[in-house]
């Protein structure tokens, strides 16, 4: 913890430098960052789970306190206006005493609508950064989420500080504990619902604390890319298991996927092939490499695997160019990771916000940036039997290039995805997930 506290101090210095640069360019006195407000459910007196503004939690690991504010001038200690109402219905946040508290100036706000009393007088010179434009309006902000400021912050956010890297290693460590427990539960006969409970209990985080809805899928369900339905009953026959689940540490996310076969069979061999291929792609990462190019290379490698397993016929080039590999691997290779699972900034090629779209043939790719030092990305190739996509191949000239018998025999296993979280260093790649011993 002492180490983390030291790194945190440096982290704040870097964030302050970024703010100092952008406010001087934009002629601002500073940024006022709103943690957010609860969202009420329609026709109800209950709120949805609170999700904090990512620009707020970039500064401090407070993820569960709406109506709080940061006043940042790029020079001084951040000022934290910390919400502590008199409230006997809900848990009131404790007075901060963690490692970060001494690095910020804290004032307590007891009534959410009295925040104006704590904000600077010349509010027009400050930019509001947050979700609630109506609140910003009432407070008198004329500059709300300026594009230039958000682009600058989102672009630079891709470069993680040492504090952030330490948090993300820890988020991986926590998730890996859960993955190991979930794997054991799968081989012991648990249902999807039970496996998720085992996972959450092993990492000691609730469903609203993990960074995204965990995917726990048995058999055919593992071909549904965002499967979150969770069957309570165990399937009569247990064939395969895909788990895409992360953990949160100080607001930072891990995002890890593993695939398992219940028995040694061709699906197990296919997992081994995908696993080797994923590691090959990771070994190609270094500063200067285009992430979109890695995605394309993944398609060529996948084409070879599909040929090796007699799933398709033809040649590698043709299989990629005709979109046949895309029917088996429709999503992107991965994305930037950080305070958000899909961290902002993946499409920004410069700090002014120049957007580089995904290639037309690969619309779901979430990152087109060049890799650089201290970026964190996921690498998550997959292969799935998705009938709606394969049906399109049937209608096209490619029908004869697919071995439909092999597709039929793989369908009951669903699909495979293998996802690690990787740091790009100047002289090496750090695979946080594998370093913790989570192999296949
Ligand atoms: N779990 C979300 C993703 O892998 O992108
Ligand atoms: Mn991911
Ligand atoms: Mn994932």
In order of their start, the domains of the chain are 2-157 (3.40.350.10), 162-435 (3.90.230.10)
Cβ distance 223 to 414 under 8 Å? yes
β-partners of residue 185 are none
CB of residue 225 inside a 6 A radius of ligand 1: no
Kindly give the number of the ligand 1 atom that is closest to the alpha carbon of 419: 4
Residue 335 assigned to a binding site: yes
Q: Would you call 42 helix, strand, or coil by DSSP?
A: coil
Q: Would you call 364 helix, strand, or coil by DSSP?
A: coil
CB of residue 255 inside a 6 A radius of ligand 1: yes
- Closest to 193 (Cα-Cα) out of 232, 156, 144, 162: 232
CB of residue 213 inside a 6 A radius of ligand 1: no
Sign for the pseudo-dihedral over CA of 383, 409, 412, 190: negative
The residue written with tokens 């979150």 in the block is 228
Q: How far is the CA of 225 from the centre of ligand 3 (A)?
A: 10
pTM over 0.95, yes/no? yes
Residue 102 assigned to a binding site: no
Residues 84 and 93: their CA atoms lie apart, in Å, by: 6
Which pLDDT score, from 0 to 100, does residue 1 have?
Answer: 72
CB of residue 164 inside a 6 A radius of ligand 1: no
Tell me how far apart the terminal alpha carbons of the chain are, to the nearest angstrom. 31
CB of residue 193 inside a 6 A radius of ligand 1: no
Residues 125 and 140: their CA atoms lie apart, in Å, by: 10
In order along its 440 residues, the chain shows pLDDT tens digits of: 779 999 999 999 999 999 999 999 999 999 999 999 999 999 999 999 999 999 999 999 999 999 999 999 999 999 999 999 999 989 999 999 999 999 999 999 999 999 999 999 999 999 999 999 999 999 999 999 999 999 999 999 999 999 999 999 999 999 999 999 999 999 999 999 999 999 999 999 999 999 999 999 999 999 999 999 999 999 999 999 999 999 999 999 999 999 999 999 999 999 999 999 999 999 999 999 999 999 999 999 999 999 999 999 999 999 999 999 999 999 999 999 999 999 999 999 999 999 999 999 999 999 999 999 999 999 999 999 999 999 999 887 889 999 999 999 999 999 999 999 999 999 999 999 999 999 88
Which pLDDT score, from 0 to 100, does residue 397 have?
Answer: 81
Q: How far is the CA of 256 from the centre of ligand 3 (A)?
A: 5
Residues 157 and 159: their CA atoms lie apart, in Å, by: 5
Kindly give the number of the ligand 1 atom that is closest to the alpha carbon of 366: 5
Q: How far is the CA of 214 from the centre of ligand 3 (A)?
A: 8
The residue written with tokens 């890890």 in the block is 256
Measured CA to CA in angstroms, residue 206 lies from 63, 91, 237, 269, 308 at distances of 14, 17, 29, 34, 42
Cβ distance 32 to 119 under 8 Å? yes
Cβ distance 429 to 176 under 8 Å? no
Kindly give the number of the ligand 1 atom that is closest to the alpha carbon of 215: 1
Helix ranges (H only) for 230-350 are 266-283, 291-308, 316-321, 324-328
Kindly give the number of the ligand 1 atom that is closest to the alpha carbon of 212: 1
- Closest to 337 (Cα-Cα) out of 86, 158, 132: 158
Residue ID of nearest Cα to ligand 1 atom 3? 255
Contacts (Cβ under 8 Å, ≥6 apart) of 284: 294, 297
Which pLDDT score, from 0 to 100, does residue 396 have?
Answer: 77
CB of residue 341 inside a 6 A radius of ligand 1: yes
CB of residue 131 inside a 6 A radius of ligand 1: no
Contacts (Cβ under 8 Å, ≥6 apart) of 226: 213, 215
Q: How many CB atoms lie within 10 A of CB 40?
A: 11
Q: How far is the CA of 32 from the centre of ligand 2 (A)?
A: 31
Q: Which residues surround ligand 3, an ion (CB under 5 A)?
A: 244, 255, 257, 419
Angle between helices 2-26 and 147-157 (to 10 degrees): 150
Q: Which residues surround ligand 2, an ion (CB under 5 A)?
A: 255, 378
């Amino acid at each position: 913890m002492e180490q983390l506290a030291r790194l945190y101090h440096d982290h704040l210095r870097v964030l302050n430098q970024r703010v100092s640069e952008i406010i001087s360019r934009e002629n601002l006195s500073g940024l006022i960052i709103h943690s957010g407000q609860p969202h009420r459910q329609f026709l109800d007196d209950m709120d949805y789970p609170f999700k904090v503004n990512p620009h707020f939690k970039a500064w401090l690991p407070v993820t569960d306190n709406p109506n709080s504010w940061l006043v940042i001038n790029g020079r001084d200690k951040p000022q934290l206006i910390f919400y502590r109402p008199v409230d006997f219905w809900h848990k009131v946040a404790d007075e901060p005493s963690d490692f970060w508290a001494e690095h910020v100036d804290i004032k307590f706000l007891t009534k959410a609508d009295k925040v104006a009393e704590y904000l600077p007088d010349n509010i027009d010179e400050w930019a509001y950064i947050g979700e609630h434009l109506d609140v910003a309006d009432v407070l008198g902000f004329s500059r709300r989420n300026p594009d230039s400021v958000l682009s600058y912050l989102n672009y630079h956010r891709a470069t993680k500080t040492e504090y952030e890297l330490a948090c993300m290693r820890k988020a991986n460590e926590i998730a890996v504990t859960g993955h190991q427990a979930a794997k054991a539960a799968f081989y012991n006969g648990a249902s999807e619902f039970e496996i998720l409970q085992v996972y959450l209990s092993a990492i000691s985080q609730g469903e609203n604390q993990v960074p995204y809805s965990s995917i726990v899928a048995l058999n055919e369900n593992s071909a549904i890319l965002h499967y979150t339905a969770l069957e309570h009953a165990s399937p009569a026959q247990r064939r395969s298991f895909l788990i895409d689940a992360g953990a949160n540490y100080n607001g930072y996310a891990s995002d890890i996927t593993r695939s398992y076969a219940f028995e040694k069979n061709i699906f197990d061999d296919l997992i081994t092939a995908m696993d080797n291929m994923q590691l090959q792609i990771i070994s190609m990462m270094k500063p200067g490499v285009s992430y979109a190019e890695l995605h394309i290379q993944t398609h060529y490698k996948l084409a070879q695997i599909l040929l090796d397993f007699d799933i398709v016929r033809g040649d590698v080039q043709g299989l990629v160019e005709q979109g046949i590999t895309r029917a088996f691997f429709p999503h992107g290779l991965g994305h930037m990771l950080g305070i958000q699972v899909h961290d902002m900034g993946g499409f920004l090629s410069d700090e002014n916000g120049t957007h580089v779209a995904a290639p037309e043939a690969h619309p779901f790719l979430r990152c087109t940036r060049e890799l650089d030092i201290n970026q964190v990305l996921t690498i998550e190739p997959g292969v799935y039997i998705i009938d709606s996509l394969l049906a399109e191949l049937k209608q096209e000239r490619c029908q004869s290039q697919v071995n439909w018998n092999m597709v039929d025999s793989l369908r009951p296993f669903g699909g495979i995805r293998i996802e690690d979280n990787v740091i790009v260093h100047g002289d090496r790649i750090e695979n946080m997930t594998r370093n913790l011993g989570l192999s296949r």
